[in-house]
């Protein structure tokens, strides 16, 4: 089963995804895509680490997400990926501009083949003004296309606002 959890910044989407993983009754592997490129991001990572149960496995993978998913997924395991928009940002900033397309293709190909439960977390960015700057516009476009493709292959899509989940596809947990 694939769950896609979307929401804006500080909407409660990560907490919701963590609750879904906790209540799955399965062993959990958390795949973190962020990189501590500055002090503020390092602090955010620390907060997430402190909030997670100590017995969860952790994979830190900022780029090769499909490989990490294949390595972690098992029929008796829940894999939580947080978050796809940071993963997307990491790939957009890569020197190899073709890597984003390759990694996205690998992700989409592997998702339907993975055993167990997969929970994907991502920021919904397409609800505001069109951003200034080519890179920002490309980011919003890429995120929107990625979310549409993921929603299509997910059994459940949840949207989180002010800590409250809304079911866009499937039933509320």
Is 109 assigned to a binding site?
A: no
- Of 89, 84, 80, nearest to 59 by C-alpha is 80
The values of phi and psi at residue 165, to 5°, are: -85, 145
Is 99 assigned to a binding site?
A: no
Q: Among 19, 44, 48, 169, which one carries the catalytic annotation?
A: 48
Is 7 assigned to a binding site?
A: yes
Is 13 assigned to a binding site?
A: yes
Is 133 assigned to a binding site?
A: no
Beta bridge partners of 81: 31, 120
Is 74 assigned to a binding site?
A: no
The pair of three-digit structure tokens given for residue 6, joined into one six-digit string: 């979307």
Between CA 67 and CA 117 the distance in angstroms is 16
The pair of three-digit structure tokens given for residue 104, joined into one six-digit string: 């996205």
Q: Is 147 a catalytic residue?
A: no
Is 104 assigned to a binding site?
A: no
- Of 143, 149, 57, 76, nearest to 112 by C-alpha is 149
Is 11 assigned to a binding site?
A: yes
Is 124 assigned to a binding site?
A: no
Whether the Cβ atoms of residue 120 and residue 81 lie closer than 8 Å to each other: yes
Between CA 152 and CA 91 the distance in angstroms is 22
Beta strands in 69-152 (DSSP E): 77-82, 117-123
Is 49 assigned to a binding site?
A: yes
Catalytic residues: 48
Binding residues for GTP: 7-14, 32-34, 49-52, 60, 82
Binding residues: 7-14, 32-34, 49-52, 60, 82
């Amino acid at each position: 089963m694939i769950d896609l959890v979307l929401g804006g910044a500080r909407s409660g989407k990560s907490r919701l995804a963590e609750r879904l993983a906790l209540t799955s009754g399965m062993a959990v592997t958390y795949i973190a895509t962020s990189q501590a490129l500055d002090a503020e991001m390092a602090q955010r990572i620390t907060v997430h680490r402190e909030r997670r149960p100590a017995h969860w496995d952790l994979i830190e993978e900022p780029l090769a997400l499909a490989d990490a998913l294949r390595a972690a997924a098992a029929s008796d395991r829940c894999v939580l990926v947080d978050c796809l928009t940071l993963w997307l940002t990491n790939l957009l900033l890569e020197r190899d501009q073709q890597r984003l397309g390759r990694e996205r293709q690998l992700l989409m190909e592997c998702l339907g083949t993975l055993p167990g439960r997969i929970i994907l977390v991502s920021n919904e960015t397409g609800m505001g003004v069109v951003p200034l700057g080519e890179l920002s516009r490309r980011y919003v476009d890429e995120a929107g296309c990625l979310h549409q493709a993921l929603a299509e292959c997910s059994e459940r899509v949840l949207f989180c606002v002010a800590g409250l989940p809304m079911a866009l596809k499937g039933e509320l947990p």
